[in-house]
Structure 1
């Protein structure tokens, strides 16, 4: 399975980037493609520039993926604009009928608002299929940093393994569905609103 892990923070050296890297190391054996939006791989969307090499490169990475993991920080109860920008550039051609695991990141006890925001505002035209499971990485600065795991570290490690196993199962199961859906989509490339 080819997995694209997206660190959705536009802040350099973010906790989202750290968590994305740890997910890759611990749960994907460093085989996932890691896209860090803080590196500014995409220009701000303005409806033009589809022939740009940087845009083509990110779209190709999304297209090559069988599944996605989106590590999204909660900033003032909202997702950062960088992840919204990603969904303006990458749509159904790259993402339709692929499973995605949402990972909310919070410095405090939040993180749930970005899960809701991503579920309601990023799937319509991309046709990305979010798993019913998601992960919340709360008090993230203290998560997975000690040599001796805390109770929270252990729980989230086990929960993450469960969610990643589900993502892999969904990716395998949806492969023929994706093929059929793309072949028959025709004029219905956008979702209904």
Structure 2
């Protein structure tokens, strides 16, 4: 299974990027591809530039993935613009009927608003399929950093392993559906509101 882990923060050296690396190491044996939105791999969306090499490169990475993991930081109860920008550039051609695991990243005790926002506003036209399960990494700066794992570290280690197992099962089961959906959507390229 080809997995693309997307660190959604715009900040260099963010907790989202650190935790994306930790997830890759702990749950994907370091074999997932990482896309760090802080590296500005996509220009700001303005409705033009579809033939730009940087845009084509990101779209190719997304299209090649069988599954996605999206680590989205919560900033003032919202997703950062870098994540919204990603969804403006990548659509159904890259994402249709592809399973994705949502991971909210919070510096404090939040994170739930991100799950709601992403499920509400990011899947419609691209047809991305979020797993019913999700993760919320709270107190992110202290997760998986101590020499001795905390109770929270252990719980999130086990829950993440469980959800990544589901992601793999979804990716395997949905592979034939993805091509069928892209081939037959025709006049129905945008979701219904």
Distance, in Å, in 2 between the alignment partners of 1:90 and 1:179 is 16
1:14 corresponds in structure 2 to 14
Q: Deviations over 1:133-164 (max 9, x none)?
A: 00000011111001110000000000000000
Distance, in Å, in 2 between the alignment partners of 1:172 and 1:187 is 27
Residue 53 of structure 2 corresponds to residue 53 of structure 1: yes
Q: Deviations over 1:42-93 (max 9, x none)?
A: 0000000001010000000000000000000000000000000000000000
Q: TM-score, normalised by structure 2?
A: 0.99
Query: SS in structure 2 opposite 1:132?
Result: coil
Distance, in Å, in 2 between the alignment partners of 1:53 and 1:90 is 14
Distance, in Å, in 1 between the alignment partners of 2:94 and 2:181 is 13
Residue 66 of structure 2 corresponds to residue 71 of structure 1: no
CA shift at 1:180, angstroms? 1.4
2:80 corresponds in structure 1 to 80
Distance, in Å, in 1 between the alignment partners of 2:52 and 2:100 is 26
Distance, in Å, in 2 between the alignment partners of 1:125 and 1:183 is 15
Structure 2 unpaired stretches of 5+: none
Distance, in Å, in 1 between the alignment partners of 2:40 and 2:173 is 33
Superposed, which structure 2 residues align to 1:71-150 within 5 Å? Answer: 71-150=71-150
Moved over 4 A (4+): none
Residue 182 of structure 2 corresponds to residue 186 of structure 1: no
CA shift at 1:112, angstroms? 0.7
Distance, in Å, in 2 between the alignment partners of 1:55 and 1:184 is 25
Distance, in Å, in 2 between the alignment partners of 1:184 and 1:126 is 14
Distance, in Å, in 2 between the alignment partners of 1:127 and 1:165 is 22
- What is the aligned-residue RMSD (CA, Å)? 0.5
Distance, in Å, in 1 between the alignment partners of 2:170 and 2:153 is 25
1:169 corresponds in structure 2 to 169
Distance, in Å, in 1 between the alignment partners of 2:47 and 2:182 is 23
Structure 1 unpaired stretches of 5+: none
Query: SS in structure 2 opposite 1:50?
Result: coil
